[in-house]
Amino acid sequence: METGLQNRVAIVAASSQGIGRATAEGFAAEGCGLAICARKREALNAVAEKIRSQYGAEVMAEAFDVADAGAVRDFVNSVVGRFGGVDICVTNAGGPPAKGFLATTIEEWKRAVEVNFMSAVYFAHEVIPHMQKKKWGRIITVTSITTKQPVADLVYSNAVRAAVVGLVKSLANEFGKDGILVNNVGPGFTATDRLKELARSRSASSGKSEEEIFDGWAADTALKRLGEPRELADTIVWLASERASYITGQTVLVDGGLYKGL
């Protein structure tokens, strides 16, 4: 399948491991110039080096927190300075803590809003003017199945990620005329470090072993297994490609049939 992504410039946020990293590799494999970020510099630089040597891709890597508006602005400016523009922006960040409502704190609510919602606002705000100049762009937010179906004890995610969907739909409506397509991808249970962290927390609160927790999650899907980061990445790369040129304002779940609704 010809994706038409050769020489496109892709930002993939929060990409030193997990879904972000797999997505960065997916764009590198398609011949894109790549800009990646995460907070821990050493791990990020190691991933950048690996992607350069494996795919021959040009990779820019900068360590910062996506909840820092100024850092996002500086990063996008550096990407444009180095590559001459930006075509694709995948917003992503670490997930919020797993908690029921009465265990939440105001500080954590504010942090969840900053990390899992405002970061998408910051990136969109910076990249859209560059995409408008080219009359072509793709913004893809990585959120969660919680945008369609709340998950027990993930109240921060259940609440805050809904705002991202509202943002995605609004941007899709406002900037479709400029050739900018905006979509949201919602992972189900995907085998990454984040899921191990959730299993640990669920195990501590339920008394079940982590293995039982993983088995239960897999059993809850139609496909009876967890997802792989590459399966998320393939969907994101496809949404950015010319093969998905009439899709905008949508949430695509990559969840193995975990979502129970029609």
Residues that bind ligand NAP (CB under 6 A): 14-20, 37-40, 43, 65-67, 92-95, 115, 142, 144-145, 187, 189-190, 192-195
3-state secondary structure the chain: CCCCCCCCEEEECCCCCHHHHHHHHHHHHCCCEEEEEECCHHHHHHHHHHHHHHHCCCEEEEECCCCCHHHHHHHHHHHHHHHCCCCEEEECCCCCCCECHHHCCHHHHHHHHHHHHHHHHHHHHHHHHHHHHHCCEEEEEECCHHHCCCCCCEHHHHHHHHHHHHHHHHHHHHHHHHCEEEEEEEECCECCHHHHHHHHHHHHHHCCCHHHHHHHHHHCCCCCCCECHHHHHHHHHHHHCHHHCCCCCCEEEECCCCCCCC
The least distance separating ligand NAP from the CB of residue 82, rounded to whole angstroms, comes to: 19
The residue (of 33 and 97) whose beta carbon lies closer to ligand NAP is 97
Query: Tokens 């410039």 belong to which residue?
Result: 9
- State residue 103 phi and psi, 5-degree precision: -90, -5
The least distance separating ligand NAP from the CB of residue 27, rounded to whole angstroms, comes to: 15
The residue (of 144 and 184) whose beta carbon lies closer to ligand NAP is 144
The least distance separating ligand NAP from the CB of residue 47, rounded to whole angstroms, comes to: 8
The least distance separating ligand NAP from the CB of residue 195, rounded to whole angstroms, comes to: 4
The least distance separating ligand NAP from the CB of residue 44, rounded to whole angstroms, comes to: 6
* Contact indicator for 81, 60 with CB cutoff of 8 Å: no
Q: For residues 97 and 136, give the distance between their C-alpha atoms in angstroms, rounded to a whole number.
A: 36
The least distance separating ligand NAP from the CB of residue 188, rounded to whole angstroms, comes to: 6
The least distance separating ligand NAP from the CB of residue 172, rounded to whole angstroms, comes to: 20
Take residue 112 and report the two structure tokens written for it: 């969840």
The residue (of 133 and 224) whose beta carbon lies closer to ligand NAP is 224
Take residue 72 and report the two structure tokens written for it: 């996002």
The residue (of 194 and 243) whose beta carbon lies closer to ligand NAP is 194
Give the up-direction half-sphere exposure of residue 125: CA atoms within 13 A in the CB hemisphere: 13
The residue (of 192 and 248) whose beta carbon lies closer to ligand NAP is 192
The least distance separating ligand NAP from the CB of residue 235, rounded to whole angstroms, comes to: 13
The residue (of 19 and 89) whose beta carbon lies closer to ligand NAP is 19
The residue (of 20 and 175) whose beta carbon lies closer to ligand NAP is 20
The residue (of 62 and 178) whose beta carbon lies closer to ligand NAP is 62
